[in-house]
Amino acid sequence: MKYSFELKELDELERVLSSLLVRRDSQAENVLCHIVRKMSDDDKKTIIQMLAERNTAMAASVSVRINISREQQSDLFENVLARGRSNEIKLYVDRLFVHRLGFSRMIGALRKYEASCTKGVYFASYYLGASRNISEAKRQEVKDLFQRVKLRIAGGESD
C-alpha cells in the first residue's frame, strides 16, 4: 500500500494493523485511530475498507473515531449497501451513520440505491427503522421504504 505520510508512521500502522487483525485490543485500536486521523481522506477510506474485509466490527468502530468527511461517509455507506452484507450494514448503521452521517443523507442514499442495491437497502432500512435515535415520523418514512424494497425483493427484482 502507498500512503501519503511518513515511513515511521507507516511502520507503526502496519504493526498495529497486524496486531489488531489477529486479536482486537482497545489500546492498539486507540493507536490505530491516532495514526489514521492524520491521514488524507482517501487513505482513511482505504484503511476502513481494508479493515472491513477482515473485521467488520473493528472497521465500523474505527470509522466513527477517525473524523472522516461527510463525502467519505457517503462513499462508505454506498460501498456497504453495494456489498449487501447484513452484519456489516447493521454495524455501520448503528455505529456510524445514525450518529455522524445524519438521517436525511442516509434516507437520500437509501432512496438513490433502492433499485440498484436492493438487498443492502433492505437491511439498512430494517436496521435504521429499529434505531431508537429517530423520531416516529422518520421511522415511518424508513418503514415505508422497507416495505417497498421488501415487495421488490419478493417480486424477484433484487440485485
Mean pLDDT of 18-25: 82
Query: Is the full-model pTM beyond 0.85?
Result: no
* Cα–Cα dist 111/91, whole Å: 20
* Pick from 84, 86, 32: nearest CA to 63: 32
Q: What is the pLDDT of residue 17?
A: 83
Residue 4 belongs to what domain range? 1-67
Structurally, the chain folds into a number of domains equal to: 2
Task: Look at residues 13, 45, 67 and tell me which one is the last residue of a structural domain.
Answer: 67
60 and 118 inside one domain: no
Mean pLDDT of 23-50: 88
59 and 108 inside one domain: no
44 and 58 inside one domain: yes
61 and 109 inside one domain: no
Mean pLDDT of 120-136: 90
Count of H-run helices and E-run strands, the chain: 9, 0
With b meaning 16 or more CB within 10 Å and e meaning fewer, what string describes 64-103?
Answer: bbbebeeebbbbbbbbbbeebbeebbbbbbbbbbbeebeb
* Cα–Cα dist 24/19, whole Å: 8
Task: Look at residues 12, 41, 67 and tell me which one is the last residue of a structural domain.
Answer: 67
90 and 52 inside one domain: no
73 and 52 inside one domain: no
Mean pLDDT of 3-26: 75
* Cα–Cα dist 28/16, whole Å: 6
43 and 103 inside one domain: no
Mean pLDDT of 96-116: 82
Task: Look at residues 67, 90, 115 and tell me which one is the last residue of a structural domain.
Answer: 67
Mean pLDDT of 20-35: 87
Mean pLDDT of 15-35: 86
105 and 60 inside one domain: no
